[in-house]
């Protein structure tokens, strides 16, 4: 089986690393790609074509993992085939449905957590999603429904919780620090939240501060998509995120 990868960054690199099988051949292209991407491709066990059109020609599955802003254009260019087309970009359910309109056999996909973690989880939805269950041999794959948009929606719902919570964590940790009680702060929370709470929290705080701009944009998109007056905590988290 041939799996074509449109985009070869962290996601594709790790998929190739995780999905090791004699029956699966990954293909991609260096067409118009940066040196970073070419280096990643050269480090990986993949067949390389001069163009993406050539790469997808005999593919059974096409995976789009490039950037949310490129998702629709990529689908328009390469999705009109009999192959299964899986989008793993962080796109909104609205974009997923737009892609479904131009792609024959579309599967809505969402990577939960980091792809370079030990056990990445892939949520899938859509009529064709079940055909990708064989990937369970290599990843943790869950098919949630036949509806395009459900996987992307679930990812947004998760972001509402994790991103807002990260801001609350930063706020309370700052206060604990200013009172000289930061160790005790983690100690008391670990009693109910688990032993690894401190380590996870510090990593979450660090990530949030490092990518506050991207996370603000994601929360803005969420507010726009759900267009709900009830998302008061998200609005407050966004205001705060913008100050970092
Ligand atoms: N990393 C994660 O853990 C994670 C988790 C969930 C979802 N995602 C989503 O997955 C997608 C990929 O993430 P990533 O972390 O792999 O990103 P990345 O490391 O930045 O890599 C993006 C790759 O896509 C290529 N690319 C960009 N535009 C392209 C185009 N028009 N045609 C072909 N290739 C193109 C880039 O090539 P150049 O270097 O030449 O620009 C690069 O190889 C993103 O949409 C992201 O939102 C990532």
Q: Are strands 84-87 and 47-49 parallel, antiparallel or unpaired?
A: unpaired
Instruction: Report the separation in Å between the CA atom of 71 and the middle of ligand 1, taken as the mean of its atom positions.
Output: 10
Write down the pLDDT at residue 94. 94
Of all protein residues, whose CA lies closest to atom 47 belonging to ligand 1?
A: 90
pLDDT, one tens digit per residue, over 5-31 is: 999 999 999 999 999 999 999 999 999
151 CA to centre of ligand 1 in angstroms:
19
Mean pLDDT for the stretch of residues 147-162: 96
CB of 5 closer than 8 Å to CB of 24: no
pLDDT of residue 205: 96
Pocket-forming residues, ligand 1, beta carbon under 6 Å: 6-11, 33-34, 36-37, 65-68, 70, 74, 88-90, 111, 114-115
- pLDDT, tens digit (0-9, with 9 covering 90-100), for 199-220: 999 999 999 999 999 899 889 9
pTM of the full structure: 0.91
CA distance 7 to 70: 10
Mean of the per-residue pLDDT values of the chain? 96
Q: Which of 111, 108, 78, 104 is nearest to 96 (CA)?
A: 108
Q: Residue 175 belongs to what H/E stretch? A: helix 150-178
Assign 14 to helix, strand or coil. helix
* pLDDT at residue 61 greater than cutoff 90: yes
For the chain, list the domains and their CATH numbers.
Answer: 2-145 (3.40.50.720), 153-241 (1.10.1040.10)
Residue whose CA is at the smallest distance from ligand 1 atom 46: 89
Ligand 1 atom nearest the C-alpha of 74 is 31
Distance 224 CA to ligand 1 centre (A): 23
- Which residue of 10, 14, 68, 71 sits with most ligand 1 atoms within 8 Å of its CB, as the best mutation to test the pocket? 10
> 48, 67, 95: which to mutate for ligand 1, most atoms within 8 A of CB?
67
The yes-or-no verdict on residue 45 having pLDDT over 80 is: yes
Q: What are phi and psi of 141, to 5 degrees?
A: -105, 130
Give the least confident one: 26-30, 70-74, 144-148, 219-223.
219-223
Spell out the alpha helix ranges (H) of 19-84: 35-42, 52-56, 71-78
- Please give the pLDDT value at position 227: 87
Q: How far apart are alpha carbons 75 and 97 in whole angstroms? A: 11
Of the chain, the percentage scoring pLDDT greater than 70 comes to 100
Model confidence pLDDT, tens digit, residues 228-244: 889 999 999 999 999 99
State the average pLDDT over residues 22-42: 98
Question: What does the pLDDT average to over 58-63?
Answer: 97
Give the three-class secondary structure for 117.
coil
Q: Which of 108, 31, 20, 119 is nearest to 64 (CA)?
A: 108
What is the per-residue pLDDT across 77-121, written as a single tens digit (0 to 9) for each? 999 999 999 999 999 999 999 999 999 999 999 999 889 987 899
């Amino acid at each position: 089986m041939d799996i074509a990868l449109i985009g070869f960054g962290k996601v594709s690199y790790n998929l190739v690393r995780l999905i090791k099988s004699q029956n699966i051949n990954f293909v991609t292209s260096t067409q118009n790609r940066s040196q970073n991407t070419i280096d990643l491709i050269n480090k990986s066990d993949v067949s390389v074509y001069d163009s993406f059109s050539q790469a997808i020609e005999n593919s059974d599955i096409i995976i789009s993992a490039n950037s949310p802003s490129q998702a629709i254009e990529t689908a328009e260019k390469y999705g009109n085939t009999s192959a299964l087309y899986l989008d793993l970009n962080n796109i909104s359910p609205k974009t997923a449905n737009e892609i479904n309109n131009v792609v024959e056999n579309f599967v809505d996909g969402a990577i939960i957590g980091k792809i370079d973690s030990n056990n990445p989880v892939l949520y899938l939805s859509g009529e064709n999603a079940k055909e990708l269950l064989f990937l369970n041999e290599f990843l943790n794959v869950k098919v949630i429904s036949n509806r395009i948009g459900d996987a992307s929606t679930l990812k947004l719902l998760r972001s509402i919780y994790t991103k807002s919570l990260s801001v609350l964590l930063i706020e309370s940790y700052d206060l604990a620090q200013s009172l000289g009680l930061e160790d005790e702060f983690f100690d008391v929370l670990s009693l109910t939240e688990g032993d690894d709470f401190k380590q996870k929290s510090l990593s979450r705080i660090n990530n949030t501060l490092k990518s506050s701009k991207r996370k603000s944009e994601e929360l803005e998109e969420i507010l726009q998509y759900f267009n709900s007056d009830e998302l008061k905590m998200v609005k407050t988290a966004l205001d705060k995120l913008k100050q970092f």
